[in-house]
Amino acid sequence: MEQIKIGFIGTGVMGTGIIQHLLTLPNEIHIFNRTKKKADSLIKKGAVWQDSPTFIAQNCQVIFTMVGYPKDVEELYLGQDGLLHHALADTIFIDLTTSTPSLAVKLNQAAEKLGLSLLDAPVSGGDVGAKNGTLSIMAGGSEEKFARVLPLFKTFGQNIVYHGSAGSGQNAKMSNQIVIASTMIGVCESLTYAKNAGLSLDLVLKSISTGAAGSWSLSNLAPRMIVDDFEPGFYVKHFIKDLSIALEEAERMELKLPGLQLAHSLYNEISNAGYDDNGTQALISYYRQG
């Protein structure tokens, strides 16, 4: 890809891992985060700090965004000082946030009216995938623009799939989150059963992780559950957001998804118990009550 300036807004747990891979490119990487301290390690590694999203828009030709909630995405792009109002001609925006399909369509249309482009490209793989550059990336929007930024995706993603028009990436991510939701219940219930049966949890994982029960959650999050490591690779509060979006989309499609509904309910329970800022593996706490 040509020597352009690349912007990245949102240096949280996932964003930091992704930016570290982008910093291996010869391109300048400009970053912004609401809390500058969280970006200090990236600045030390060569990232260029900008004092606002506006400066990112005015200086970069490809801009990644990864923020918390759909309302944050909408404000970032369409607010009074929104990115779309300050962007350079032909800028390609890539929203990595897990957001609503309808908002992805709305932002894509707004961008196109201004001669800009926007891809919705949520990712999966957690902090481990971001750190190792092995994320799954689910993209929607212009196929031509997707092909143009594919070399950038390849710096931090391993399984990169173009799904179709705007919003398709977000719908693919909802499918991903629905699988994870029920899988996390299964992992927690498996460990709870094994513990009550008097088994070694480490040996149980050794037996089942590579068999038919194997999953990313079982291999990567179950070991954390065993030692009560609830540090966030992906926050409970953000997972609840994702499950809420999936439920809303399912309702719109007139689908009944009881597994998704149960997971949403259980995660809300641990949220109410104070686990919002923990990782999704904190669901095991529900099964340890009483």
Task: Look at residue 78 in the predicted model and tell me its pLDDT.
Answer: 97
CATH code for residues 6-165: 3.40.50.720
d(CA 168, CA 132): 25
Q: Where are the domains of the chain?
A: 6-165, 171-287
Name the residues annotated as catalytic. 173
Task: Look at residue 290 in the predicted model and tell me its pLDDT.
Answer: 53
Fold of 171-287: N-(1-d-carboxylethyl)-l-norvaline Dehydrogenase; domain 2 (1.10.1040)
- Helix locations, the chain, DSSP H: 13-22, 40-44, 53-59, 70-78, 101-113, 126-132, 143-156, 168-196, 201-208, 216-220, 222-226, 236-252, 258-270, 284-287
Task: Look at residue 289 in the predicted model and tell me its pLDDT.
Answer: 82
Task: Look at residue 3 in the predicted model and tell me its pLDDT.
Answer: 81
3-state secondary structure of 122: coil
Tell me whether residue 71 is exposed, middle or buried, using C-beta atoms within 10 angstroms of its C-beta: 0 to 12, 13 to 18, 19 or more. exposed
Q: What is the pLDDT along the chain (290 residues), one digit of tens a residue?
A: 678 999 999 999 899 999 999 999 999 999 999 999 999 999 999 999 999 999 999 999 999 999 999 999 999 999 989 999 999 999 999 999 999 999 999 999 999 999 999 999 999 998 899 999 999 999 999 999 999 999 999 999 999 999 999 999 999 999 999 999 999 999 999 999 999 999 999 999 999 999 999 999 999 999 999 999 999 989 999 999 999 999 999 999 999 999 999 999 999 999 999 999 999 999 999 999 85
Biggest alpha carbon distance in the chain?
Answer: 64
Backbone angles phi, psi at 91, to 5 degrees: -60, 140
Contact predicate 170/122, CB 8 Å? yes
For residue 143, give the amino acid letter. E
**CA distances from residue 169 to 60, 98, 99, 180, 234 in whole angstroms, order as listed:** 23, 9, 10, 17, 19
Contact predicate 184/192, CB 8 Å? no
